[in-house]
């Protein structure tokens, strides 16, 4: 676990401001119009938005999510290691691959969680104490329906001015996802007393439980060793 300890030491600051959740509406009927319900047994999407520890933890506590794996997306395979990604020059973002059952949780509901409690989509190439393009806000979609709804929802949220600034989330089709090193998986669950986790990630889980209780699960679905 030495590598994980180094990571926390690099990015945690006692003076950093903890994240705040923003209550936002779910995608409207207009945003959903013409988008057929999924007929797949499972779907996958990759979300990026700051350190993957917190994003993973939020979706591991989401009903209907079958697996949430920390990893890297947006760059090249040869650069998909933490030591290179952390420098910010690989093109990769720290990201989480979310596999879910669309009969239990819709993609629209996952988007609401992502934009409201999982991260702040108005921060460009950073997320609170973590700075660099590897911490950018991005959605890597796997179906045309996901892409269309994400575009519509971002436009809807911007038009409603639910955030004090414009959403800067990047949107693109997923080309590849590379799982992160073992010590990064389930990190928030395994290290709840770590200063970084306590300050930045546990509040996200608490916000999910408070703001979207029907989507919250107390027992996280963890990545198997």
Cβ–Cβ < 8 Å for 65, 99: yes
79-102 exposure pattern, b = at least 16 Cβ within 10 A, e = fewer:
bbebebbbeeebebbbbbbbebeb
Annotated catalytic residues are 51
Cβ–Cβ < 8 Å for 66, 43: no
Categorise residue 90: left if φ over 0, alpha if ψ from -120 to 50, beta otherwise: alpha
Q: Alpha-carbon distance 43 to 66, whole Å?
A: 10
């Amino acid at each position: 676990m030495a590598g994980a300890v180094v990571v926390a030491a690099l990015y945690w600051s006692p003076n950093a401001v903890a994240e705040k959740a923003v209550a936002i509406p779910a995608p409207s009927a207009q945003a959903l119009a013409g988008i057929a319900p999924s007929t797949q047994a499972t779907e996958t999407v990759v979300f990026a938005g700051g350190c993957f520890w917190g994003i993973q933890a939020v979706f591991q506590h989401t009903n209907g999510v079958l697996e949430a794996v920390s990893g890297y997306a947006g760059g090249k395979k040869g650069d998909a290691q933490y030591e290179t990604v952390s420098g910010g020059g690989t093109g990769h973002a720290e990201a989480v691959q979310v596999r879910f059952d669309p009969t239990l949780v819709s993609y629209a509901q996952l988007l609401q969680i992502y934009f409201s409690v999982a991260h702040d989509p108005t921060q460009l190439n950073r997320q609170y104490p973590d700075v660099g393009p590897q911490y950018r806000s991005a959605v890597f979609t796997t179906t045309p329906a996901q892409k269309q709804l994400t575009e519509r929802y971002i436009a809807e949220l911007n038009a409603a001015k639910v955030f004090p600034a414009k959403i800067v989330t990047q949107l693109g089709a997923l080309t590849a996802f590379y799982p992160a090193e073992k010590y990064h998986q389930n990190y928030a669950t395994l290290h709840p007393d770590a200063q970084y986790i306590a300050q930045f990630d546990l509040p996200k889980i608490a916000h999910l439980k408070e703001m979207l209780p029907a989507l919250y699960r107390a027992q996280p679905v963890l990545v198997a060793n």
